[in-house]
């Protein structure tokens, strides 16, 4: 995908952790890509993984590895340059062009 026409492109990673009543940590890692187009519109897609473990570091490490593995499998190993490009391809295979087609289900790890 030629992205030279874009006004901007960003990747963002966000991690949150919440300690449950039983002492386990529920850690969510979210990685998103945003494209900014010359007409002022933007488009964003994301990958996300949530892991629960007694140890925050173990949960964070596992969730981050899951997101990075999903990115590798979905994008880079298939020759794509962009998460958005890869998810568009996935949606075309599924027979939908709906940009709101449950990106959390097509791009999420558990």
What CATH number does the domain containing 50 carry?
3.30.160.20
Q: Is residue 57, in this structure, part of any structural domain at all?
A: yes
Q: Is residue 2, in this structure, part of any structural domain at all?
A: no
At 52-83, the pLDDT tens digits run: 999 999 999 999 999 999 999 999 999 998 99
**1/85: higher pLDDT:** 85
Q: Which domain holds residue 88?
A: 8-109
What is the pTM (predicted TM-score) of this model? 0.77
Q: Is residue 105, in this structure, part of any structural domain at all?
A: yes
pLDDT at 2: 74
32 close to 43: Cβ distance less than 8 angstroms: no
Domain count, the chain: 1
At 42-52, the pLDDT tens digits run: 999 999 999 99
Q: Is residue 104, in this structure, part of any structural domain at all?
A: yes
Q: Which strand ranges, in their side-by-side order, compose the sheet holding 25-36? A: 8-19, 25-36, 42-53, 108-109
Q: Is the pLDDT of residue 16 over 90?
A: yes
């Amino acid at each position: 995908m030629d992205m030279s026409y874009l006004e901007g492109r960003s990747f963002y990673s966000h991690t949150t952790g919440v300690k449950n009543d039983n002492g386990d940590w529920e850690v969510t890692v979210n990685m998103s890509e945003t494209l900014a187009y010359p007409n002022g519109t933007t488009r964003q897609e994301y990958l996300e993984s949530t892991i629960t473990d007694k140890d925050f570091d173990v949960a964070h490490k596992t969730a981050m590895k899951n997101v990075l593995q999903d990115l590798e499998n979905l994008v880079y190993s298939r020759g794509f340059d962009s998460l958005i490009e890869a998810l568009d391809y996935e949606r075309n295979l599924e027979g939908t062009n709906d940009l709101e087609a449950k990106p959390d289900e097509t791009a999420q790890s558990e």
